[in-house]
Amino acid sequence: MFEPIKGFGVSLANMFKPHVTEKYPEKMRPTAPRYHGRHILNRHPDGLEKCVGCELCAWACPADAIYVEGADNTDEERYSPGERYAGTYQINYLRCIFCGLCIEACPTRSLTMSNEYELANDSRQDLIFTKEQLLAPLLPGMEQPPHPLRLGDDEQDYYVGAMQNPGASAGAEYSPQQESARETAAKQGNGGAA
């Protein structure tokens, strides 16, 4: 007849042990610093896109998660410093295995990964992220493309410049602005899209 009370005893004892349950989603816990989360398409310091639509990330991807279509920049409508930019850029998060091979392939360091992991959804459509969703938000000093070259006369100035000043990118690992940008993004109530 002490059996039921014994059961309470187990509960009672556990109440005073340290517990492992996360208070998610009320409280987000930081991941390991190099956690492979959602991708970011970074910008040059003036807001132009770093991505040149080369598709090397798509080529490298073992899961065929990336779809890119290049397009022509014109002097009137410029998205990236050179002749070519990504007219269409999509990552399908139902396919992505977060291996990071795309990041290694990217020749312009446009594509990096954030620590963002909230990627559950109930529709296929919403899990195919478009370029607008993937692009890093505009930081102070950045201007929404299309706009003319602001940091030099040609793309070379951008690339040479990038060696000294890699630019800041919201969500990019180890960027000084990472924290503030995350806050901004949180305030906007979505995963960092501009």
For other proteins, the binding residues (CB under 8 A) are 52-56, 58-59, 69-72, 82-84, 107-108
- 57 is an annotated ligand-binding site residue: yes
List of E strands, 63-164: 66-72, 84-92, 111-113, 128-129
Nearest to 121 by CA among 20, 38, 181: 38
Is residue 67 involved in binding ligand SF4 (CB under 6 A)? no
Q: How far apart are CA 81 and CA 155, in angstroms?
A: 5
Q: How far apart are CA 172 and CA 174, in angstroms?
A: 6
Is residue 145 involved in binding ligand SF4 (CB under 6 A)? no
**Cα first-last separation, the chain:** 64
Is residue 97 involved in binding ligand SF4 (CB under 6 A)? yes
Cis peptide before 146 (omega within 30 of 0): yes
- Interface with ligand SF4 (CB under 6 A), residue from 35, 67, 87, 99: 99
For other proteins, give the closer residue by CB, 61 or 170: 61
Type and span of the H or E element at 101: helix 101-105
- How many residues bind to ligand SF4 according to rule CB under 6 A? 27
The structure tokens listed for 103 are 């990041």
For ligand SF4, give the closer residue by CB, 90 or 180: 90
With H, G, I as helix, E, B as strand and everything else as coil, classify residue 69: strand
The structure tokens listed for 39 are 């991708």
The least distance separating ligand SF4 from the CB of residue 25, rounded to whole angstroms, comes to 24
- 115 is an annotated ligand-binding site residue: no
- Interface with ligand SF4 (CB under 6 A), residue from 35, 82, 84, 101: 101
- Interface with ligand SF4 (CB under 6 A), residue from 100, 146, 161, 166: 100
Is residue 106 involved in binding ligand SF4 (CB under 6 A)? yes
Which positions touch ligand SF4 (CB under 6 A)? 51-57, 60-61, 63, 65-66, 68, 86, 91, 96-102, 105-106, 108, 110-111
